[in-house]
Amino acid sequence: MLRNIYILICLFILVASCKKDTYTADPYSLWEVRYQYKGADAQLPPSLIWGVVTNDHSNGNTPSNYVTVQFADRAIVLLVDDAKSFQLGDSIKVNVTGHTITRDNGTLAIKDVKADSIQVLAKNKGAKANTNALPVLKNNGTDFDCSLVTIKGNVKVKPGDNAAYRGDHYLVSGSDTIILHTEPNASFANNLLPASGTFTGNFYLRTNGAGQLAPQLWIRKLNDVK
């Protein structure tokens, strides 16, 4: 009898120990979510994204359904039904488990995110821009896609003086160029470009006419240019 009781106690301890040591993986973070895209659309495993909104709908120079969220030095776009309800500097959290990661016109993005699924944790927070020379950004586009960047150095603009921001222009450093893009309805679209400057903005890969991914910089406001 005592032997049976002893065996039962040992079994209980063993089962309790197994339950205690059972490991449940944490949800994927923004960094890990980005790596789920391997050249084709993919459904996300348990994933929780948090970070700071870096695009600015108030000035109009952003795709209308984009919420661009950055954590540390990496970022991703959320395709949101009511993106304008989220402001530059909002600190947000959203569960994207089961959503599809894709490229939206070339830009790394998560599809079909509902505005009411995004929790705003705080307002007026800052995200640190990745500061690099233009060739570094251009040659490492998939790393910097969606992130806030500052192009180091006094890069030239072609065409520059007497040209308005609207449309596509070229930022030039040596033999390297990337497109500076401004939407026609941006609040500063008709302001004149400088001949050169230091530019900060959202760095997006976009599909060009040849079907290739090409980097573009979308400034958010005029004082993104120094």
How far is Cα 51 from Cα 95, in angstroms, rounded to an integer? 12
Note the pLDDT tens digit of each residue in 73-111. Answer: 999 999 999 999 999 999 999 999 999 999 999 999 999
pLDDT for 48-61, tens place per residue? Answer: 999 999 999 999 99
- pLDDT for residue 131 is more than 60: yes
Q: What is the pLDDT of residues 160-192, one digit of tens each?
A: 667 999 999 999 999 999 999 999 999 999 999
Q: Is 127 exposed, middle or buried (0-12, 13-18, 19+ CB in 10 A)?
A: buried
Mean pLDDT of 25-44: 94
Q: Do the first three CATH levels of 30-122 and 130-220 match, i.e. the same topology? A: yes
Domains of the chain, residue spans: 30-122, 130-220
Q: What is the pLDDT of residue 25?
A: 53
SS3 assignment, position 46: coil
In this predicted structure, the answer to whether residue 21 has a pLDDT above a threshold of 50 is: no
Supply the pLDDT for residue 154. Answer: 82
Pairing mode, strands 213-218 and 42-43: unpaired
| 149-154: average pLDDT | 91
Evaluate whether 155 touches 137 at the Cβ level (below 8 Å): no
Per DSSP, the residues of 68-104 read EEEETTEEEEEEETTGGGS-TT-EEEEE-TTPEEEEE
Q: How many CA atoms lie within 13 A of 185 on its CB side?
A: 6
The mean predicted confidence, pLDDT, of the chain is 90
Query: Which residue, among 45, 113, 33, has the nearest Cα to 75 in the 3D structure?
Result: 33
Q: Which CATH class is domain 30-122?
A: mainly beta
CATH architecture of 130-220: Beta Barrel (2.40)
pLDDT of residue 161: 63
Which tokens go with 185?
A: 């309805």
Please state, in angstroms and rounded to a whole number, the distance separating the CA atoms of residues 61 and 83.
13
Residue 110: closest CA among 98, 128, 120: 98
